[in-house]
Amino acid sequence: MVKVKKLILVTAPHLPQHKYFRRILYEASKKLGVGQEIKREDYVFLNEYGEKDEFGMAWAPQLFAELDDGRIVGILSRLPIDPQTLNIDVEKALKQVYDKLRELGVEV
């Protein structure tokens, strides 16, 4: 069974999604009992490990997990929006994070 060593958030405080990703980072790391790291505008890291658009450009914020086998994997790059209220759905984002970790073989 794979374990998460820490969660890594690459973000910038001026981005509108920043506060939501920080909350997701905090809640997920608390539930998993792992450390957290925040990298500010680290586009070298994002280009190496992150999701990219059709032009090959990475964006922030994105959330990653460092696994005990040394891999760094993206676990959240886009926030889900509730179609009824058009608000960010943090609970659904957390579910996506946990589902992605389960796919990787992490016990959540």
User: What value does the mean pLDDT take over residues 20-40?
Assistant: 98
- Starting at the edge strand that comes first in sequence, how are the strands of the sheet with 4-11 ordered? 35-40, 4-11, 62-67, 72-76
Report the C-alpha gap between 2 and 63 in whole angstroms.
Answer: 18
Report the C-alpha gap between 66 and 56 in whole angstroms.
Answer: 23
Which residues is 67 bridged to in the sheet? 4
Residue 85: the pLDDT is 93
Residue 4: the pLDDT is 98
User: What value does the mean pLDDT take over residues 3-20?
Assistant: 97
Confidence class for position 42, pLDDT limits 50, 70, 90: very high
Residue 39: the pLDDT is 98
Averaged confidence pLDDT in the chain: 97
Report the C-alpha gap between 33 and 85 in whole angstroms.
Answer: 32
Closest CA to 76 of 10, 19, 32: 10
Structure tokens given for 85: 């209220």
* For the chain, percent of residues with pLDDT exceeding 90: 99
Confidence class for position 69, pLDDT limits 50, 70, 90: very high
Q: What pTM was computed for the model?
A: 0.96
